């Protein structure tokens, strides 16, 4: 039986390419959408008939091994009933039409390799009878591709890569603008002030440039705590936020007193990650800022003394105590220690000192609220910094005249006496007005809402570091407290 079929070789639209396993059959589904490709039958006897018919005795049949519809009789193929249906074989069909049994089909158009002119082989006999170890290709998909096709594919791949790169950059830019972080508010000093208490974005960036060189040591400590190797690769893999966004998160926690769950939702991280970031940055800033000497020598203070202090030129530091409300512990013993009779609440108390021009120059640790101001002054280490030629300015309730080695300026008040002298009356308003500077500074510290509200017992482990960092940050967040000062502390 001899038949002739006309097959149109057109590029198919599918993504999966199938090939015919019959020897000398060059067609594939990539370049012909009119043929069908049938899998080998599951019945063992019928499968052996197929293998014998296509003359592939050693064929290893896999899930993708196919025989195209060219090799089956038209009556063996059931056409689909629906437009989008698939053609199927009738039960028991065996391929019967091949090149070697007088079945002939138009060959596919010759490729570039066949149409190109080549010099004749030097050894005709060798070309006609190739060595036994030379592999003879049975299918066109095993031959070298057309160079023109390869060039087109490479150009298409390059264009797609460039498109993917541009889309990725646009997505990263959009994510950066939408993600909650410092860069989202870079253009708004008002928002920076609200979220961080820094007066402007520029001021915040200058502070960041100061602490950024010390970040490698912080990374090493964090990796050591996590039990990972200290190297840059592991740091990149374990870190969920950029360091500057971690810093911004910490400032949000200080400035707004935000709950850790709220911060976790804002930044898209786990709540335990927020807790870890707060602890790490508290200790890091406590170490970095605490290593900077803040006590200013007496001669430098006098050289930049504001005009308001002309009647008190030997003033070195203005002192006052502040109390932070804390959650009452369950133990009655601890309650009695932290209960403050002045605030009628459980508190933590600390001593803070500022220079006449408004910079923080002394910060004590926090003590239980029941301790007296005088005892805090003795235990804080301040007395070792004071010398006989200095003077300190204090508020009315800080009675430290008998323990400091220098002069004390204090607003006069009735304490065990019936009247004040004329000089005391004249000096009291001026000292009171100047002493208000330290109250302004304490108000700046308490602008960090973490300390403006009741401190939970869960942060008592790092409350000293948090309080110290908040006090020291006031030297960088704002300008000087007194007027007419352009110099920094």
* Domain spans, the chain: 37-144, 145-178, 188-290, 298-477
Query: Any idea what DSSP says for residue 188?
Result: -
d(CA 272, CA 239): 13
Architecture of domain 298-477: 2-Layer Sandwich (3.30)
Inter-residue contact 53 to 40 (CB < 8 Å): no
pTM over 0.85: no
d(CA 488, CA 357): 9
Inter-residue contact 360 to 296 (CB < 8 Å): no
Name the packing angle between helices 271-290 and 260-267 (round to 10°).
100
Inter-residue contact 297 to 359 (CB < 8 Å): no
Q: Of 353, 311, 306, which Cα lies nearest the Cα of 480?
A: 306
Q: Tokens at residue 446, please?
A: 């308490």
Inter-residue contact 410 to 443 (CB < 8 Å): no
Name the packing angle between helices 260-267 and 243-256 (round to 10°).
140
d(CA 165, CA 173): 12
d(CA 251, CA 268): 17
User: What tens-digit pLDDT sequence spans the chain (489 residues)?
Assistant: 445 455 554 455 555 678 889 888 888 877 666 788 888 988 889 989 998 888 888 888 888 888 988 888 888 888 888 877 788 888 889 998 887 776 654 455 566 666 666 666 555 555 556 555 555 555 555 556 666 666 777 888 888 999 998 888 877 666 555 678 888 888 889 999 999 989 999 999 999 999 999 988 876 555 544 544 334 333 433 447 889 999 999 999 988 888 899 999 988 899 999 999 999 999 999 999 999 999 999 888 888 888 878 888 899 998 888 899 999 988 888 889 999 888 889 999 999 998 888 889 999 999 999 999 999 999 999 999 999 989 998 877 788 889 999 999 887 543 444 444 544 445 456 666 665 666 776 777 777 777 878 888 888 889 999 999 999 998 898 754 444 433 433
d(CA 380, CA 400): 13
For tokens 């390419």, what's the residue? 17
d(CA 440, CA 420): 28
């Amino acid at each position: 039986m001899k038949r002739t079929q006309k097959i149109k070789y057109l590029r198919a639209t599918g993504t999966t390419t199938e090939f015919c396993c019959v020897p000398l059959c060059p067609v594939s589904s990539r370049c012909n959408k009119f043929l069908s490709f049938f899998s080998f039958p599951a019945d063992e006897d019928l499968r052996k008939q197929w293998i014998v018919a296509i003359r592939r005795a050693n064929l290893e049949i896999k899930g993708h091994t196919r025989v195209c519809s060219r090799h089956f009789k038209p009556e063996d193929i059931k056409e689909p009933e629906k437009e989008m249906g698939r053609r199927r074989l009738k039960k028991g069909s065996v391929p019967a039409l091949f090149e070697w049994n007088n079945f002939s089909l138009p060959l596919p158009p010759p490729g570039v390799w066949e149409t190109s002119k080549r010099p004749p082989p030097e050894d005709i006999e060798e070309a006609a009878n190739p060595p036994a170890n030379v592999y003879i290709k049975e299918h066109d998909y095993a031959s070298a591709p057309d160079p023109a096709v390869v060039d087109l594919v490479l150009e298409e791949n390059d264009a797609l890569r460039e498109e993917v790169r541009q889309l990725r950059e646009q997505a990263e830019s959009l994510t950066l603008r939408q993600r909650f972080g410092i860069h989202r508010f870079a253009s708004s000093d008002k928002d920076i002030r609200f979220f961080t208490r820094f007066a402007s974005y520029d001021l915040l960036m200058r502070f960041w440039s100061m602490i950024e060189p010390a970040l490698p040591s912080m990374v090493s400590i964090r990796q050591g705590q996590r039990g990972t190797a200290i190297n840059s690769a592991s740091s990149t893999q374990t870190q969920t936020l950029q360091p500057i966004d971690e810093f911004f998160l910490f400032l949000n926690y200080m400035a707004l007193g935000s709950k850790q769950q709220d911060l976790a939702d804002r930044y898209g991280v786990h709540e335990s990650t927020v807790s870890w970031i707060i602890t790490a940055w508290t200790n890091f800033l406590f170490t970095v800022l605490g290593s900077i000497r803040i006590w200013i020598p007496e001669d430098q203070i006098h050289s930049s003394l504001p005009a308001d202090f002309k009647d008190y030129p030997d003033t070195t530091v203005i002192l006052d105590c502040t109390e932070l409300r804390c959650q009452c512990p369950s133990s009655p013993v601890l309650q009695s220690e932290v209960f403050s009779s002045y605030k009628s609440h459980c508190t933590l108390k600390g001593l803070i000192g500022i220079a006449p021009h408004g910079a923080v120059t002394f910060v004590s640790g926090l003590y239980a609220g029941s301790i007296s101001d005088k005892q805090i002054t003795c235990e804080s280490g301040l007395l070792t910094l004071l010398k006989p030629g200095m003077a300190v300015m204090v508020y009315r309730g800080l009675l430290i005249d008998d323990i400091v080695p220098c002069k004390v300026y204090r607003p006069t008040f009735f304490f065990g006496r019936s009247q004040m002298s004329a000089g005391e009356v004249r000096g009291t308003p001026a000292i009171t007005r100047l002493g208000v500077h330290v109250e302004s500074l304490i108000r700046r510290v308490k602008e960090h809402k973490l300390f403006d509200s009741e401190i939970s017992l869960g942060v008592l482990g790092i409350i000293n570091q948090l309080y110290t960092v908040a006090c020291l940050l006031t030297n960088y967040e704002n300008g000087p407290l007194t007027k007419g000062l352009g110099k920094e502390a």
